[in-house]
Amino acid sequence: MKYQHHDEISKVNRRDLLTERSNLKSKHLDTFTTNQLVNLFSEEDLEPQRAVSKCIPEITESIDCIFERLKNGGRLFYIGAGTSGRLGVLDSSECPPTFCTPPDLVQGIIAGGDASLKSSSEHLEDSPDLSINDLQQCDFSVKDCLVGITAGGTTTYVNTALAYARKLGALTVSISCVPKEQVFLISDVDIRLLTGPEILTGSTRLKAGTATKMLLNMISTIVMIKLGKVYGNKMVDLSVSNKKLNDRALRILSDVADVEVEEGRRLLEMSNGSVKDSLLMAIASIDLNTARLLLEENGQNLREAIRQAANINNNP
């Protein structure tokens, strides 16, 4: 499937892209001492944070739009090739253990599939049809969200996916590290992380990759906060799947509900490891079935469920 946008991308002089330019500070990089190299990297790695801070309006808009889609049954997909794809897969794979989300709620798609996580397959980023097939294999639909990650903005695999998703009517968000006047991207929300030329010319796994990782952290975490996966600053929907997470769950019960360790263990066992259920039982002094009913009635938002339980107790 070919889109007109491909022809526009083919006319872009990649040598002129911001991500491909030579960094004047590292012009004689191979002559630097170790200390000089470390200082240069430390100085340049402040740029990703600056780049993210300059995109707060677009980031806010993307998060609000993604939240609305997920709240109404949609899913979030990241798509990219090479480093960009790996970052998307990393962020998506951390959602189930951190927020106890279903594995398909946040998904990362990388050109070449799982094999590309360990092996180079950058040649696949030039395939115009591969990303469409990958999205179709996931039953991608109009309800879903697609975040296309392409540092230089010219990755065919990503651009085709964005055009396909936009045509379906799905939400599209693009993340790139080049100015709009250099490359036009088809998306509802266009985020430009302008981190500047890399220390190692063209190696976008450096500043561009760092800025992208920061942004994906913000997107997934803030969306989950808005979905009620967090209470205060505690991850109350974490998956209690090992000793470390069990200890964290017990600390959360202690910090939030002043529950002793043994009582915390009893609550977690009773609720099949649900921190949120356990907290509501402890705070509202209710049984498990009532806690689950209140959470369901309040969209799994613990704060709202606690408020409703207090109202019930005050108005028997």
Phi, psi dihedrals of residue 147, rounded to the nearest 5°: -105, 110
**CA–CA dist 212, 34 (Å, integer):** 27
Tokens of 38: 């470390």
**CA–CA dist 33, 56 (Å, integer):** 37
Handedness of CA 132, 121, 145, 198 (dihedral sign): negative
Of 8, 94, 122, 304, the catalytic one is 94
Of 44, 47, 58, 125, the catalytic one is 125
Residue 297: active-site member: no
Tokens of 125: 């980023």
**CA–CA dist 212, 218 (Å, integer):** 10
From the list 198, 48, 199, 72, the residue with the least C-alpha distance to 141 is: 72
From the list 307, 297, 285, the residue with the least C-alpha distance to 231 is: 307
CB atoms closer than 10 angstroms to residue 109: 25
Output the CA–CA distances (angstroms, integers) from residue 103 to 15, 75, 246, in the order listed: 39, 10, 21
- 293 sits in which H/E element: helix 288-297
CB atoms closer than 10 angstroms to residue 178: 25
Output the CA–CA distances (angstroms, integers) from residue 31 to 45, 155, 197, 292, in the order listed: 20, 33, 19, 64
**CA–CA dist 307, 311 (Å, integer):** 6
Tokens of 301: 């938002």
Residue 58: active-site member: no
Residue numbers annotated as active site: 94, 125
